[in-house]
């Protein structure tokens, strides 16, 4: 099939849409990606991209068409301009650069912002192709939770925009079952909804094959290492994490390793310095996805957290699926769906979102547990991940939904 993917974010930015694109290409589909210039999470266009744009026109066998955007920067105003610039740029330049190309389906990768779907709606009309949208963020709830928009009136306007977008989708794919009531109320029914959770990227498929400890972790080889991987943002609730680090500052041989970066990182670094925790929490920065298995497999426990907000309780953090593949126990500070997954899998210890005292207690409990108990948690997680988040099965389902949409369009 000829599939057009519309996503504001794409390689070399690290999002699961990269792995899906690669998998669809591997299955013989002709994939084209309409995206922006890479600038996440640093907030500036990647220097490597600026110096050699031609090198980023293909991703494996997929064709990549990029449109100019305003970089995210590090303020809320710049973020708004970033969101709007992709919607406008892709709506104007997208149809021009895709002129003459036919597609069997349009697939929208919808993490924030919802406005990234607007060019796809236009292309759906121009190309007469069905549109499927994978919802990873619920708007306007996400905007309210991270504090980008506080005006109730503006949030209501965004809700109208969300409703407009959802009603123009032929299929709506939900990363969490908890999204269903909200989306159903906005579109007036559940007929178009399908459950489509995330999965661990192919780079994590090594299973139980040993991975050498990365040199960055060798200085901490004899310590009990709790590793957090991914975005350092408002949603991840680093204030609560730092409270737990501070509560356990006198615990021997305990290190907190942070592998990632994000908009909140400068503030978190300042807080660590202010509290005098620099010897307990280690920031290693961001690394390519290909290196992540070595970091995860060298940890003693893997940390996942989201702030205490209704919207985050509906979400399964994307890192959970990758964590489950490692055979390492998870430490979760999560409510709702994310916490349910870890508890149901018996893959680690779960405490309420925002509860640093519970996290501290779970850390001590895990450190005192024997090696076999921790290994059993890891094996439980691997089994659960394979059963619930298997990539092959999920992409099979996606292909089936695309075919359904094509048949529906043919009969209409």
Same domain for 373 and 394, yes or no, is no
| Per-residue pLDDT reduced to its tens digit, 194-248 | 999 999 988 887 655 557 899 999 999 999 999 999 999 888 999 999 999 999 9
Same domain for 193 and 279, yes or no, is no
pLDDT at 66: 98
Same domain for 296 and 185, yes or no, is no
Same domain for 160 and 95, yes or no, is yes
Same domain for 31 and 64, yes or no, is yes
Contact 268/256 with Cβ under 8 angstroms?
no
pLDDT at 158: 84
Question: Which residues span the domain enclosing 23?
Answer: 2-199+390-411
Spatial CB neighbours of 217, under 8 Å, sequence gap ≥ 6: 225, 257, 295, 298
| Per-residue pLDDT reduced to its tens digit, 69-120 | 999 988 878 988 999 999 999 999 999 999 999 999 999 999 988 999 999 9
Contact 196/397 with Cβ under 8 angstroms?
yes
Q: Which token pair is 285?
A: 């920065």
Same domain for 254 and 398, yes or no, is no
Contact 259/286 with Cβ under 8 angstroms?
yes
In this prediction, residues 49-73 reach a mean pLDDT of 95
In this prediction, residues 178-183 reach a mean pLDDT of 92
Least Cα distance to 230 among 174, 312, 275, 296 occurs for: 296
Same domain for 337 and 211, yes or no, is yes
| Per-residue pLDDT reduced to its tens digit, 304-361 | 999 998 888 998 998 999 999 999 999 999 999 999 999 999 999 999 999 999 999 9
Least Cα distance to 145 among 334, 308, 266 occurs for: 308
For 349-390, where are the alpha helices, taking DSSP H only?
Answer: 356-368, 371-388
Same domain for 185 and 223, yes or no, is no
Note the pTM of the prediction, 2 decimals. 0.85
For 73-223, strand residue ranges (E) read: 105-110, 131-135, 171-174, 193-195
Q: What is the CATH number of the domain that holds 328?
A: 3.40.50.2000
Q: HEC string of 226-284?
A: EEEECCCCHHHCHHHHHHHHHHCCCCCCEEEEEECCCCCHHHHHHHHHHHCCCCCEEEE
Q: How many domains does the chain have?
A: 2
Residue 310 to residue 312: CA distance in whole angstroms: 6
Is pLDDT above 90 for 374? yes
Residue 402 to residue 396: CA distance in whole angstroms: 10
Q: Go through the chain and tell me how many residues it has.
A: 412
Strands 301-305, 62-67: pairing is unpaired
Residue tagged 């036919």 (tokens): 102
Contact 336/312 with Cβ under 8 angstroms?
yes
pLDDT at 210: 57
Same domain for 47 and 120, yes or no, is yes
Same domain for 118 and 225, yes or no, is no
Same domain for 364 and 229, yes or no, is yes
Same domain for 399 and 359, yes or no, is no
pLDDT at 142: 75
Least Cα distance to 375 among 306, 301, 280, 292 occurs for: 301
């Amino acid at each position: 099939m000829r599939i057009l993917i519309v996503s504001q974010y794409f390689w070399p930015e690290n999002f699961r849409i990269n792995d899906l694109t690669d998998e669809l290409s591997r299955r013989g589909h002709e994939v084209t990606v309409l995206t922006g210039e890479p600038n996440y999470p640093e907030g500036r266009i990647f220097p490597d991209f600026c110096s050699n744009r031609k090198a980023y026109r293909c991703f494996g066998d997929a064709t990549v068409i990029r449109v100019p955007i305003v970089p995210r920067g590090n303020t809320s105003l710049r973020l708004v301009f970033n969101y709007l610039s992709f919607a406008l740029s892709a709506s104007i330049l997208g149809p021009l650069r895709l002129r003459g190309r036919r597609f069997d389906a349009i697939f929208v990768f919808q993490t924030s912002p919802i406005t990234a779907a607007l060019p796809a709606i236009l292309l759906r009309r121009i190309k007469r192709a069905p549109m499927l949208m994978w919802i990873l963020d619920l708007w306007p709830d996400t905007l309210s939770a991270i504090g980008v928009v506080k005006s109730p009136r503006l949030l209501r306007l965004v809700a109208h925009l969300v409703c407009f977008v959802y009603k123009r989708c032929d299929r709506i794919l939900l990363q969490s079952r908890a999204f269903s009531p909200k989306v159903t109320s906005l579109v007036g029914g559940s007929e178009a909804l399908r459950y489509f959770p995330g999965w661990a990227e192919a780079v994590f498929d090594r299973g139980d094959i040993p991975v050498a400890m990365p040199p960055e972790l060798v200085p901490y080889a004899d310590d009990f290492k709790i590793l957090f991987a991914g975005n350092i943002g408002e949603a991840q609730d680093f204030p609560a994490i730092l409270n737990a680090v501070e509560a356990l500052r006198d615990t021997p041989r305990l290190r907190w390793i942070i592998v990632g970066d994000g908009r909140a990182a400068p503030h978190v670094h300042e807080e660590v310095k202010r509290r005098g925790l620099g010897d307990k929490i280690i920031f290693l920065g961001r690394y390519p996805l290909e290196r992540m298995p070595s970091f995860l497999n060298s940890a003693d426990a893997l940390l996942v957290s989201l702030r205490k907000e209704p919207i985050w309780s509906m979400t399964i953090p994307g890192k959970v699926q990758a964590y489950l593949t490692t055979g390492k126990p998870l430490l979760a500070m999560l409510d709702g769906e994310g916490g349910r997954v870890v508890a149901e899998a018996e893959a680690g210890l779960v405490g309420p979102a925002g509860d640093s005292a519970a996290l501290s207690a779970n850390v001590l409990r895990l450190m005192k547990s024997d090696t076999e108990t921790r290994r059993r948690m890891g094996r439980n997680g691997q089994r659960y991940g394979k059963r619930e988040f298997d990539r092959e099965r999920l992409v099979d389902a996606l292909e089936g939904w695309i075919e359904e949409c094509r048949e529906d369009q043919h009969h209409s």
